[in-house]
Structure 1
């Protein structure tokens, strides 16, 4: 069974927002990395290196609330409508490819399905209806 996880985008407030969500939902972050933790991050300003690359907070046994901050120097702009993705945690690489290829057909690919430096197999896109999706196979 595939699981779905809400994925939020922020403009520099992801850590603040997730500390607030953590105070409400409880629990602990299962992942929190900054842009500065990524390879080649020296190209970004100190402010951007301190932005959240990815944070994950379990809400219950089936749902993980996730987020990142946009990176203005990389051309990311937060607009109404791009502040949330539907993230599908696939059960296999094959299922991830099937979902990615099917849902992205006629849409715009943001990141093709590839092995990522954090260890997961991941891709993202906007479907032909303007809905933003992330397909992930890996850690959770």
Structure 2
């Protein structure tokens, strides 16, 4: 088994537990692990699978020197089998449209959403045209 990977590790400003619920509804995320912080309110670490890939997230801990907050300038790119299905599910769950899903000049069906926690998600697949 190889442990070589690149895993997005997102910091959520206020409520990582609510973010997990949103990612389950919007992107079909599967929760693999959850570790509460000592305060019992925030999450120290969570491990999700989205579209078969690992994703970590946590609440912000400014008292521990964690300056990371959303938005971070990072976009999560989801390459999927049916971008319209994924797009509709995310929009129904509460994602905001930044760039509408459409067939793009570079050959993908692509769009950009923002989740309620400030993170941007592109959804795409090769265009069927």
> Which interval holds the TM-score relative to the shorter structure?
0.3 to 0.5
- What TM-score comes out, normalization by structure 1 length? 0.42
Whichever structure has more helix as a proportion of its residues is 1
